[in-house]
Structure 1
Amino acid sequence: MNGEHPEQRPPIDAPITSSSEDDLGRAPVAHDFAESIRELDASQGLVVGILGPWGHGKSSFINLMREQFATAPALTVVDFNPWMFSGSNQLVNFFFTEIAAELNVQSKSRFGKTADWLAQYASVLKPVSQFIPFPGAAAVGEATAAALGGLAETTNAERSAKKVREEITKELALLAQPIVVVIDDIDRLTTLEIREIFKLVRLTASFPNIIYVLAFDRERVEQALTEDGIPGRAYLEKIVQLSFDVPHAPEKLLRSQVFEELNRILAPVTDATLDESRWSDVYWEVIDPLFSNMRDVTRYAISARSTIRSLGVEVDLVDLLAMEALRVFRPEFTHQLSKLRSELTSTREIMGRKDDRAQKAITALLAKFPEDDEVVRALFNRVFPAAVQYVGNNHFGPDWLSAWRTAHRMAHIDFLNLYLDRVAPDELVAFRSAEQALEFLSDGVALKGYLTDLDPKQLESVLEGLTSLETRFTTEMVVPGSITLLNLIDTIPENEVRGFFDIGSPKISVGRVILRLLRRVGDEAEREALVSQILDGIETYSSQLDLIHSVGYREGVGLKLVSEAFAARIHEQFVARLQRTPPAEPWREWDAWRIYNAVQTATGEVPLASSDDPALLRAVLHSLKSTARSQSMGSRQVRSEDRLAWEILVELFESEVTIEEAVSNVRANLGDDNVLQLTDKYLSGWRPESF
């Protein structure tokens, strides 16, 4: 790794976006495959699979396909993010809503009518996924046909779901070129979510001029779709009509990328030296076995870069590179290793006895990670030679300690401590935080104290980490854990940088944890009793309504965790409670418009007046603001535009005159802000245009 270094640039763990970044030479193949898709008949819809294990470049391959789709006559490409839903109802609703929104953003003049029908379809379509035979059924069947044929409620124009579908079909059939819908990262979803995605695709695959491009790991998806002895492959073959297996990166190319990235991250460490006599053995025996794809190379470079820049002069580089590989790819092993510092670095005299306690600890470590046995033994041999006494017949005496210290080797405990105490793996930090939060889930006070002491920006990540610990949830955690999390929603900051269809939010992160908590309770009556206890402890109406919707039967949201009668009763009680008592802390109502929409829907009355509490009125206005984003093909620039759900706002206040009075009330008492200014624009007649 000597010689000239390439220009320094931080590596990015993201798919390539153009042929100019294509180090693997896949662009011609991707372009040819995309062109072959153009030549197929899409008049009855088409489903294409881009297949490969996680990290093998599926997203990059699709981005290369986009270049061909962008050539004349250009195809419209729409991305749908499957991470934003929980449950089939919500998935169906979001799919049509977001596809409609994106078509409007890309070209209202070309797709405006189609987008309007798709948005209307989202509002009338009942959760038809329950009617779809799964898995392995030969056809959608009469039940699905009935669901699509008019079981849904009608729109305000008295058009049934069947009629709306017919209008969508007619509009799509008129398109000169098909629309490509990309659904990526399917294999990173849960088993249930994977099934819901393929139910959705099966439900909508027959729309004309819609080409689905699905990216997933075949083995993972087939496993998720397998049920009752029916193989998932059979079900998959009925949906995916054309597929392409993204090839593995050649080992030679993979290793050349490893060395190229290592050159980049080592270049700034001008005073460090690499022990060539040890490097080759450590690389081939410890580091190389941990790489399997190009994403691994990038992850390693990103994670190791800052550590090597801060410690590269102080700690032996070979040891650092080895330990960084383990930290990135085996974080749990690194966590266990950090508990065995003495065992890894303690020498013994020639005639001294082996430490039985240390022997048991090392033996237990090897037993816990059997798949990495060779790597662990090589690590002991090449990086922690004092530990070889526990896996072989050799041992090192105390006289070696001075040599290791002089060489800044981690074989000496001082340098091992320096590394472990100054560097905490991101994965390990998240894992520790989630485990700590889990310990407090049955104690609401302790949980609140722990979470509020964290950096607010970390809360959403900790909550996501909790979902992976679902198997350790207990009934005792349901009430205190749910109450505490629902009362924290308004304190968790939104991620300001999100994708077009990424509606991930504190609400969804909290909802996933609570859903998994409630699912640990098998008896419906017991779940209902727990839901009642949770509702009694929730401090905001927004979080109360969110829980009521989530466990009940509301279209697009409800998961039917309680009886329909119970769901109706707690909803009625909620409306009555809000009518009697306004929010005690209106600024905390993160979904203020929806709680009053619930009152309006239930009573038929206008729920808000311009003279109401200005803090409440401001919360309502803020809850109806959203941001539309657009990105041109081939450009990294993202354009954004703030918008209000104006029709909903007018319905809540009954007239624009009342809205204007409400804005004056808020401004006079609380001052001006960007949402009030946006409301002024709407009141003046302004409406957003497509980008």
Structure 2
Amino acid sequence: MAEDLDELRPPVDHPITTSKEDSLQRAPLAHDFAKSLRSLSTDQGVVVGVLGPWGVGKSSFINLMREEFAADPALTVVDFNPWLFSGTQQLTDFFFAELSSQLRLKDGSRFGAIADRIDEYSTVLSPLALIPGFGSWWDRSVKALQSANSIRKKRASATSKRTKVADALEQVDQPIVVVVDDIDRLTTPEIRDIFKLVRLTASFPNLIYVLAFDRHRVEAALDEDGVPGRAYLEKIIQLAFDLPAVPDTLLRSKVFAELDRILEGLEDSLFDSTRWADIYFELVEPLMSNMRDVSRLALSAKSTINALHQDVELVDVIALEAIRIFRPEIFADLQSVRALLTNIGSFTDLLLRQHKARMEEVLEKSGNADFVKNVIRRLFPAAQRLFENYSYGPGSLSQWRRQHRVAHADFFSLYLDRVAPAELASFRSAEHAFTLMTEASELDEFLDSIPDESVEDTIGALEAYEGEFPLEAVVPSAVVLLNRIPKLPHRPNQGVFGISRPDLTVVRVVVRMLRPIEDESERETIVRRILANVHSYSSRFLLIRSIGHIEGSGSRLISEPVAAELEGQLVDEARSVLPTDSGQEWDLLRVYLFATSRDGEASPVNVSGNPEFVRDLLASAKSYRRTQAMGSRHVDIEPELAWDALVKVIGEDQLRESVALLRQTDAETELVGLAEKYLSGWRPPEWPE
């Protein structure tokens, strides 16, 4: 059960305590080094060093040494942590107090006399300003009040009591080990004072100091004019063990093990194994050098991975977390140019030069331009054009979006801000809709469940799947989408700002479903099947003109003869059978304008006795005219009708009769009143030149 609990615990940046935790296989080295200390002569004390950079595992190594110290005959180990007393100006007082206290706790009967002698000795060493060269920690104001005579007496008393401490220590049967760890984390003055303290006390017999520190950090702190820190250190340290660097293979396996532990139990995580090797070797591993780095990455990235594992590609997340943790200055610069990193749009020459100059600043400031370029190549390929002749198009952007990569602005924003932009919320719905596209009823039901104002954006987000739509999904999903156009808010030519065109949103998706079908005859068969199941003339006409050969709108996905055939069938049916539910005809005027003009001088459509059709025809002819006075922000919005088109479709006489009939059935409505204005001869003013 305990082992199970250990597996559930998150990785923590603490040193190991036993050989069972020794994943670096350093226990034999630590035990051998500890054994070698037993063989040293300790008549005048010994100072040894365990050396290595931060995070290399010095504390863990000393803990492994303790296992050997505990072997028979056991050595007493006393720990002194200078961090607890740094900056207190009482380091030596606390050192001796800590030493005597721990000795009493270890074995009062064996060490009680030594502890008493140490307490007596410490009382005459305060203040330590009496000792030449001691630093600011002991620079108490009381020293200014001491007379030369009292100083001499103190020194004489200290010598006597020091001798008593030495005599007591000579009587112990085994040396006492004093461990001082994390010296390299202190400030420069504190490091100097620690080593002066060790130098002061190191000559006591049967004391073995084990000091753990980063050699370069401490040597730099001990440098003084004319005396290099290394020379000073060599006078104090009699034996040193330099910890070997962690092998890359072992560090790598530890990273993978920690990430596996974090990802375990997370359902539906996004992890692109095909990109992981490049990302790891180019962006993650170069930032880490020791086991502490592994723990830092695991600890810091865990919450981000938990939050985003279903939303953002985790390969990207892990890389960005590594940069954030180990190179925060590069991470901050990436944030400052976030818009440039994901932009595939075209720039003017001037703007492109400005963006390139900004990227050059980022590269130069980083101090490692090659690394930052690798970050951009692997995570933000759109920005490669700012330092290489390499560019990407909309197809790549759609692919990055499908893959949930931070190369797409929506997912980079989600990673940085932890708030999904509106476009991303729509794409999430589109992802689910994509899984239902082979089942018309399920797709229709899902779109019904989405808030009305979000459906169009969800449909539009399906464009990202161009090239990925299953062939068996084309007919059912195209039918569902084309039949849904009348349900979508803001129909064509309506709305205050006139910017919503759900019909175009739908047909763009349908065209992207048809376009990857390489065989033209197969496309034409599929188009016929779609048209047979689309309810409204408006949606059928939209599809035909979007994929046919109509000038200015057709994408020519079907042959010209087939396009002409389908157009003719639609025209014949529309002229002979008026729609039974013309309210579903969201683009009625355009359909009948095409029907009356396709064959040249075709006669107007007969609408006699059908006010519902005329009402819907007028509604589809209505739009809004916007005018704005110079110097004013106010916009005047006035309704208008495509009057010439209406006259062409049903003729002015039928228009007059139908509007009169509508007044009887609908009474005074905006639509009736507007039509009557046109019938009276009113026309909107011409646009100013």
Q: TM-score range by the shorter chain?
A: 0.5 to 0.7
In structure 1, distance between residues paired with 2:337 and 2:132 = 53
- Whether contact under 8 Å (2:329, 2:366) holds in the other structure is no
Alignment-derived partner of residue 45 in structure 2 = 45
In structure 2, distance between residues paired with 1:380 and 1:62 = 42
Deviation (angstroms), 1:60: 0.8
Alignment-derived partner of residue 339 in structure 1 = 336
Residues 165 and 422 of structure 1: is their aligned pair in 2 closer, same or farther, counting only changes over 3 Å? farther
Q: Does 1:192 align with 2:189?
A: yes
Residues 367 and 221 of structure 1: is their aligned pair in 2 closer, same or farther, counting only changes over 3 Å? same
Residues 110 and 382 of structure 1: is their aligned pair in 2 closer, same or farther, counting only changes over 3 Å? same
Deviation (angstroms), 1:104: 2.1
Q: Does 1:216 align with 2:213?
A: yes
Deviation (angstroms), 1:73: 1.3
Alignment-derived partner of residue 359 in structure 2 = 362
Alignment-derived partner of residue 181 in structure 1 = 178
Alignment-derived partner of residue 260 in structure 2 = 263
Alignment-derived partner of residue 522 in structure 2 = none
Structure possessing the higher relative contact order (Cα contacts under 8 Å, 6 or more residues apart): 1
- Whether contact under 8 Å (1:225, 1:232) holds in the other structure is yes
In structure 1, distance between residues paired with 2:160 and 2:134 = 26
Structure-2-length-normalised TM-score: 0.55
Q: Does 1:161 align with 2:158?
A: yes
Alignment-derived partner of residue 94 in structure 1 = 94
Alignment-derived partner of residue 65 in structure 1 = 65
Residues 89 and 166 of structure 1: is their aligned pair in 2 closer, same or farther, counting only changes over 3 Å? farther
Alignment-derived partner of residue 117 in structure 2 = 117
Partner deviation per Cα, 1:100-141 (whole Å, 9 max, x = no partner): 222222222222222222233333204447745699xxxxxx
Q: Does 1:227 align with 2:208?
A: no
Q: What secondary structure, in the 3-state scheme, does the structure 2 residue paired with 1:202 have?
A: helix
In structure 2, distance between residues paired with 1:85 and 1:240 = 23
In structure 1, distance between residues paired with 2:403 and 2:256 = 24
Q: What secondary structure, in the 3-state scheme, does the structure 1 residue paired with 2:212 have?
A: strand
| Correspondent of 2:379 among 383, 386, 389 | 383
- Whether contact under 8 Å (2:270, 2:312) holds in the other structure is no
Q: What secondary structure, in the 3-state scheme, does the structure 1 residue paired with 2:90 have?
A: helix
Q: What secondary structure, in the 3-state scheme, does the structure 1 residue paired with 2:337 have?
A: helix
Alignment-derived partner of residue 614 in structure 2 = none
Q: Does 1:315 align with 2:312?
A: yes
Partner deviation per Cα, 1:49-85 (whole Å, 9 max, x = no partner): 1111111111111000000001111111111111133
Q: Does 1:306 align with 2:286?
A: no
- Whether contact under 8 Å (1:283, 1:322) holds in the other structure is yes
Residues 173 and 223 of structure 1: is their aligned pair in 2 closer, same or farther, counting only changes over 3 Å? same
Deviation (angstroms), 1:268: 2.3
Q: What secondary structure, in the 3-state scheme, does the structure 2 residue paired with 1:346 have?
A: coil
Partner deviation per Cα, 1:613-651 (whole Å, 9 max, x = no partner): xxxxxxxxxxxxxxxxxxxxxxxxxxxxxxxxxxxxxxx
Residues 15 and 118 of structure 1: is their aligned pair in 2 closer, same or farther, counting only changes over 3 Å? same
Alignment-derived partner of residue 403 in structure 1 = 399
- Whether contact under 8 Å (1:88, 1:196) holds in the other structure is no
Mean Cα displacement is larger for which, 353-362 or 317-326? Answer: 353-362
| Correspondent of 2:414 among 414, 418, 430 | 418
Deviation (angstroms), 1:402: 2.6
The aligned amino acid for 2:238 is: Q
- Whether contact under 8 Å (1:257, 1:297) holds in the other structure is yes
In structure 1, distance between residues paired with 2:153 and 2:88 = 18
Deviation (angstroms), 1:349: 2.9
Question: What are the equivalent positions in structure 2 for 1:220-299 lying under 5 Å apart?
Answer: 220-299=217-296
The aligned amino acid for 2:33 is: F
- Whether contact under 8 Å (2:134, 2:193) holds in the other structure is no
Q: What secondary structure, in the 3-state scheme, does the structure 2 residue paired with 1:404 have?
A: helix
Residues 279 and 129 of structure 1: is their aligned pair in 2 closer, same or farther, counting only changes over 3 Å? farther
Alignment-derived partner of residue 20 in structure 1 = 20
Partner deviation per Cα, 1:228-256 (whole Å, 9 max, x = no partner): 13211111111111111111111111111
The aligned amino acid for 1:405 is: R
Alignment-derived partner of residue 198 in structure 2 = 201
Question: What are the equivalent positions in structure 2 for 1:516-665 lying under 5 Å apart?
Answer: none
Deviation (angstroms), 1:187: 1.3
Q: What secondary structure, in the 3-state scheme, does the structure 2 residue paired with 1:49 have?
A: strand
Alignment-derived partner of residue 615 in structure 2 = none
In structure 2, distance between residues paired with 1:164 and 1:47 = 22
In structure 2, distance between residues paired with 1:115 and 1:270 = 59
In structure 2, distance between residues paired with 1:398 and 1:49 = 60
The aligned amino acid for 1:113 is: A
Partner deviation per Cα, 1:412-455 (whole Å, 9 max, x = no partner): 222112111239xxxxxxxxxxxxxxxxxxxxxxxxxxxxxxxx
Deviation (angstroms), 1:405: 2.1
In structure 2, distance between residues paired with 1:287 and 1:365 = 19
Residues 125 and 274 of structure 1: is their aligned pair in 2 closer, same or farther, counting only changes over 3 Å? same
Q: Does 1:325 align with 2:322?
A: yes
Residues 394 and 160 of structure 1: is their aligned pair in 2 closer, same or farther, counting only changes over 3 Å? same
The aligned amino acid for 1:386 is: A
- Whether contact under 8 Å (1:17, 1:60) holds in the other structure is yes
Deviation (angstroms), 1:353: 6.2
Residues 272 and 89 of structure 1: is their aligned pair in 2 closer, same or farther, counting only changes over 3 Å? closer
- The number of residues matched between the two structures is 402
Deviation (angstroms), 1:154: 5.8
Residues 130 and 334 of structure 1: is their aligned pair in 2 closer, same or farther, counting only changes over 3 Å? farther
The aligned amino acid for 1:421 is: D
Question: What are the equivalent positions in structure 2 for 1:669-680 lying under 5 Å apart?
Answer: none
In structure 2, distance between residues paired with 1:216 and 1:21 = 22
Partner deviation per Cα, 1:374-430 (whole Å, 9 max, x = no partner): 22111100101122122211122344333222221111222112111239xxxxxxx
Structure-1-length-normalised TM-score: 0.55
In structure 2, distance between residues paired with 1:153 and 1:79 = 32
Partner deviation per Cα, 1:155-183 (whole Å, 9 max, x = no partner): 9xxx9222221221121111111111101
Residues 394 and 351 of structure 1: is their aligned pair in 2 closer, same or farther, counting only changes over 3 Å? farther
Q: Percent identity?
A: 55
In structure 2, distance between residues paired with 1:342 and 1:350 = 13
- Whether contact under 8 Å (1:55, 1:295) holds in the other structure is yes
Alignment-derived partner of residue 81 in structure 2 = 81
**What's the C-alpha RMSD, in Å, of the aligned pairs?**
2.6
Flag the structure with larger Rg. Answer: 2
Alignment-derived partner of residue 107 in structure 1 = 107
Deviation (angstroms), 1:13: 0.8
Partner deviation per Cα, 1:185-237 (whole Å, 9 max, x = no partner): 11111211111111111011111111100011112111211111321111111
In structure 2, distance between residues paired with 1:282 and 1:24 = 25
Deviation (angstroms), 1:94: 1.4
- Whether contact under 8 Å (1:223, 1:232) holds in the other structure is yes
Residues 132 and 58 of structure 1: is their aligned pair in 2 closer, same or farther, counting only changes over 3 Å? farther
In structure 1, distance between residues paired with 2:233 and 2:97 = 26
The aligned amino acid for 1:373 is: A
The aligned amino acid for 1:397 is: G
In structure 1, distance between residues paired with 2:153 and 2:386 = 71
In structure 1, distance between residues paired with 2:390 and 2:224 = 52
- Whether contact under 8 Å (2:130, 2:151) holds in the other structure is no
Mark the runs of 5 or more structure 2 residues left unpaired by the alignment.
1-5, 136-146, 420-689
Residues 347 and 353 of structure 1: is their aligned pair in 2 closer, same or farther, counting only changes over 3 Å? farther
The aligned amino acid for 1:384 is: F
Deviation (angstroms), 1:271: 0.7
